[in-house]
Structure 1
Amino acid sequence: MNRLGFIFSSLLFALALASSMLFVVDQRQFGVVYALGQIKDVILEPGLNFKLPPPFQNVSYIDKRLLTLNSTDNEPMLTLEKQRVVIDWYVRWRISEPTEYIRNVGTNEAAGASQLNRVVRNSFQEQVNKRTVKDLLSSKREALMADVKREVLAQVRGAKPWGVDVVDVRITRVDYVDAITESVYRRMEAERKRVANELRSTGAAEGEKIRADADRQREVTVANAYREAQKIKGEGDAEATRVYAESFGRDPQFAKFYRSLDAYRSSFNKKGDVVVIDPSSSEFFNAMRGNTAPAASKK
């Protein structure tokens, strides 16, 4: 029984020892083997590898993928015309030489990101100081980003290389600081209100002009129509008078009788009309009394 226990314990020890000596490097990582705190070997290719058991050798991993560093502060920068602006940016970078990176930067990605953030920030400040706000918002922004990238690469590839490669530097936002932004918005609002009021005033003036012109044309049209109507009415009255005169001239007795009937019709137009007159002494009712009869028309 003791023999079996010893064999079992030996197997467990051998497995533990083998597991401490074997390690796998992923395709997304570098494997760094340390011997008593010093870099012994750097594994660049993925696969199964061997090392001495701890504490003689240890292994750590560093990401070899393309990393993104975003700006983390909102500290304003001064432009050429002394305007305070806030710039948001990001950097795409990767660790290319693990040995140099560990010796000159740190043992993890956070150390490189921290130092790279400082370098990029200083480079942006230097380049922004040389440019106006208009340059930051125009196509010259591309030149700014190219200059920052060049300066950052010169810094990380200097006397003590960082072992990193900066792939791209980009600006995502350029804005004034909050106090200036509020002032700019107020000026823009005032300008838009001024333009709106000017447009409304111009529109009101044009509207009054159109209404006045329409009223003038209406008055002219009504006057012309009234003139034409009066002209036509006058011509009709003249024609009617001529016809009446021609007709009544043929038989004056009938004309007198017809006019008497027309006078009766006008006088007794309504049921309540009352005329107080002496029929014996008035000639108004001669036609009704038969004193005036229409003569026979002679042909």
Structure 2
Amino acid sequence: MKGLSFSILFAALIAVLVASQTLYVVKETQRAVVLKFGEIVDADVRPGLHFKIPVVNDVKKFDSRILTMDSRPQRYLTLEKKAVIVDSYVKWKIESVAKFYQATSGDEFVANRVLSSRVDTGLRNQFGERTMNEVVSGQRDQLMTELRDNLDKVAQSELGIKIVDIRVKRIELPPDVSESVYQRMRTEREREAREHRSKGLELAEGIRADADRQRVVLEAEAQRDAEMIRGDGDAQAAAIYSKVYKQDPEFYDFYRSLQAYRDSFEGKKDLFVLKPDSEFFKYLNSSTPSK
């Protein structure tokens, strides 16, 4: 009985061992190739459970998801020979498993190293054909599209991988250039500020001169209207005086003499040297009682 149990256990162990050597699983996120003594016999094994011949066959599995290669910032020259520091990354995935294995032996580090060299060369060429303004804003999307398309052709033919996307994270000036660029930008802004101030002062002088001219015109017109009104008033007053004088000349002379007395003797320091029988004292003398 014990011998039978031992035989069953031994057979189960042998079965498990044989299964582990003949069965393998490819996950949904993986692709694989089957080798026979180092030679590819199945170039694209799909996800699922598969069989292999122990010792004879070997299975190499690779990640089929989109991978990211984050490049180190590199220094490039633009068309004007201006240096910029570019930080970029690449999204890629395996397109041909067999070609990828043959080119890199399934090592992602080797693939990233080759891809990084290709991206560096492509960016250097693209930046060298464009000005600073174009690579920063004007043609940045076009630059990335052209580089992705060109690099995708090379990567598929050499490495068996597909370039999904290439992006520039940031573009910076080198430290030795930044200060001079900022100083030039500051000088340019100060020059524009001076131009705006001078134009503002010129406009202000024009407005001020026009306001002064309008003030002089308004004062002259007001003075003219005042003189005309005053002249009309004087004319009306003269007409009224003339009319009154005609009605009672004696009373009019008496009234005017009283006004003259009041105006003449208003101040305490006034001094007049006149003859007592002067015409000025006509009504004063006539008011003196006779002896």
Q: Above 0.5 in TM-score?
A: yes
Structure 1 distance, partners of 2:129, 2:234, is 95
- CA–CA distance in structure 1, aligned partners of residues 269 and 154 of structure 2: 125
- The residue aligned with 2:210 is 213
Given the superposition, is the C-alpha separation of residues 207 and 163 from structure 1 closer, same or farther in structure 2, using an over 3 Å criterion?
same
Superposition TM-score, scaled by structure 1 size: 0.72
Does the CA-based 8 Å contact 1:127-1:148 persist in structure 2? no
Alignment map for 1:96-175 (pairs within 5 Å): 96-133=95-132, 136=135, 138-139=138-139, 142=142, 146=146, 149-150=149-150, 153-154=153-154, 157=157, 161-171=158-168, 173-175=170-172
Q: Could you tell me which residue of structure 1 aligns to residue 190 of structure 2?
A: 193
Tell whether 2:179 aligns with 1:182.
yes
Deviation at 1:261, TM superposition (A): 4.8
The unaligned stretches of length 5 or more in structure 1 are: 292-299
Query: For the Cα contact (< 8 Å) 1:63–1:109, is it kept in 2?
Result: no
Equivalent residue for 2:220?
223
Once the two structures are superposed, the pairs formed by residues 42-81 of structure 1 within 5 Å of their partners are 42=43, 44-51=45-52, 59-70=59-70, 72-81=71-80
Deviation at 1:166, TM superposition (A): 3.3
Say if 2:235 is the partner of 1:238.
yes
1:44–1:260: structure 2 CA closer, same or farther, 3 Å change rule? Answer: same
Shift of 1:13: 3.0
In structure 2, C-alpha distance between the alignment counterparts of 1:78 and 1:6, rounded to whole Å: 76
Change (3 A) 1:214 1:11: farther
User: How many angstroms does 1:95 deviate by?
Assistant: 1.5
Structure 2 counterpart of 1:247: 244
- CA RMSD between the two structures: 4.2
CA distance in 2 between counterparts of 1:13 and 1:117 reads: 48
Q: Structure 2 length normalisation: TM-score?
A: 0.73
| Number of residue pairs aligned between Structure 1 and Structure 2 | 280
Partners of 1:124 and 1:148 within 8 A in 2:
no
Q: How far, CA to CA, are the matches of 1:153 and 1:181 in structure 2?
A: 36
Separation (CA, whole Å) in 1 of partners of 2:245 and 2:81? 107
Q: Secondary structure at the match of 1:48?
A: strand
User: Comparing 146-155 with 91-100, which one deviates more in the overlay?
Assistant: 146-155
Q: Against the structure 1 CA distance between its residues 215 and 286, is the aligned structure 2 distance closer, same or farther, given a 3 Å change threshold? A: same
Q: Which amino acid aligns with 2:177?
A: I
CA distance in 1, matches of 2:2, 2:268: 155
Structure 2: tracts of 5 or more residues without a match: none
Relative to structure 1, the CA distance from residue 236 to residue 135 in structure 2 (aligned partners, 3 Å threshold; closer, same or farther) is closer
Matches within 5 A, 1:1-16: 6=6, 9-10=9-10, 13=13, 16=16
Q: Distance in 2 between matches of 1:258 and 1:65?
A: 122
